[in-house]
């Protein structure tokens, strides 16, 4: 199998036990030598302390760390302060997002779209940060059309993003079509597929409903048929996702970004199967 770079995504742990467990998970995953590890950021800044401290730990462990950064509800002054904090910690990578506030909260804030955040980071900090943005092979759920969503992606790249990480998906053709359409529109930065390992059927269905990622009918039916049989779900999930990754690598994906869900087993098994 062709060798391509990989990266891992974590979320900030909520408890000291979670933080300790994540340290162990990271050490296991560092064996695969990721290009970088990223840490998600709760919309509205709800996890800012946990995100920044986890990012700092990763950086201190010797692996380049990327902080996700969502701008919904944020002020320019607040973002300026936090960017400076990240710079002082030696962080040079951002995943710049709009984010979603929980329902009931107005959008508010001084930024409307992720493209506004990217433009602000470039205007304030020049080239201090390598900036990734989010892309949606199956369209962002709030977009008016696939074309409008691609235009939104182009606006983020034109504002200064260096690369795109996609929402997860299970149909490789959705990704290949998205990349072709993006290139036709003049988006010439790497578009890295986001990969969601399948470890739990209920969790996957919940996430997918929320973010608009389609689980193919044949996959959904099989997962449902396994019921509580976690071992069978994981074995089947491994096969499905390993085949997806193989097709993506063969089809020219520049890199793979794994949504680890702060677990190592499924990702390690996938990387082993793919000889990464």
The residues of the shown chain that bind ligand FAD, judged by CB under 6 A, are 40-41, 43, 68, 70, 95, 97-100, 113-115, 134, 140, 142-143, 148-149, 152, 155-156, 165, 167, 194
Q: How many angstroms separate the CA atoms of 202 and 223, rounded?
A: 9
CB of 88 to ligand FAD, least distance (A): 21
CB of 110 to ligand FAD, least distance (A): 14
Nearer to ligand FAD, 86 or 165 (CB): 165
- Residue position matching structure tokens 């990217």: 118
Q: How many angstroms separate the CA atoms of 169 and 103, rounded?
A: 25
Active-site annotation holds for 35: no
Nearer to ligand FAD, 6 or 149 (CB): 149
CB of 22 to ligand FAD, least distance (A): 15
Nearer to ligand FAD, 147 or 239 (CB): 147
Q: How many angstroms separate the CA atoms of 235 and 199, rounded?
A: 9
Structure token digits, residue 106: 């107005």
Of the candidates 9, 57, 214, 239, the residue annotated as catalytic is 9
CB of 111 to ligand FAD, least distance (A): 9
Closest by Cα among 230, 229, 205 to 219: 205
Count of positions (residues) in the chain: 276
Nearer to ligand FAD, 143 or 268 (CB): 143
Structure token digits, residue 148: 């409008």
Cβ–Cβ under 8 Å, residues 76 and 120: yes
Closest by Cα among 239, 226, 224, 228 to 270: 239
- Known catalytic residues are 9
């Amino acid at each position: 199998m062709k060798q391509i770079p990989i990266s891992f995504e974590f979320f900030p742990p909520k408890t000291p036990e979670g933080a300790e467990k994540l340290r162990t998970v990271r050490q296991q995953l560092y064996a695969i030598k990721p290009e970088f590890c990223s840490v998600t950021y709760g919309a509205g800044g709800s996890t800012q302390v946990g995100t920044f401290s986890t990012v700092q730990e990763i950086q201190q462990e010797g692996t380049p760390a990327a902080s996700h950064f969502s701008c919904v509800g944020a002020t320019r002054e607040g973002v300026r302060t936090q960017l400076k904090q990240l710079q002082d910690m030696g962080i040079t990578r951002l995943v710049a997002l709009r984010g979603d506030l929980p329902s009931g909260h107005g959008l508010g804030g001084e930024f409307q779209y992720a493209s506004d955040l990217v433009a602000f980071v470039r205007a304030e900090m020049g080239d201090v940060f390598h900036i990734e943005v989010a892309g949606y092979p199956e369209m962002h759920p709030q977009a008016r059309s696939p074309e409008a969503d691609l235009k939104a992606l182009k606006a983020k790249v034109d504002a200064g993003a260096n690369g795109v990480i996609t929402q997860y998906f299970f149909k490789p053709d959705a990704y290949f079509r998205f990349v072709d359409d993006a290139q036709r529109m003049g988006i010439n930065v790497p578009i890295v597929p986001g990969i969601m390992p399948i470890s739990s059927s209920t969790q996957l269905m919940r996430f997918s409903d929320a973010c608009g990622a389609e689980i193919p009918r044949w996959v959904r039916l099989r997962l449902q048929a396994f019921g509580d049989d976690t071992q069978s779900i994981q074995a089947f999930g491994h096969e499905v996702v390993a085949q997806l990754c193989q097709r993506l690598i063969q089809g020219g994906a520049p890199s793979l970004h794994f949504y680890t869900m702060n677990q190592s087993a499924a990702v390690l098994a996938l990387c082993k199967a793919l000889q990464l």
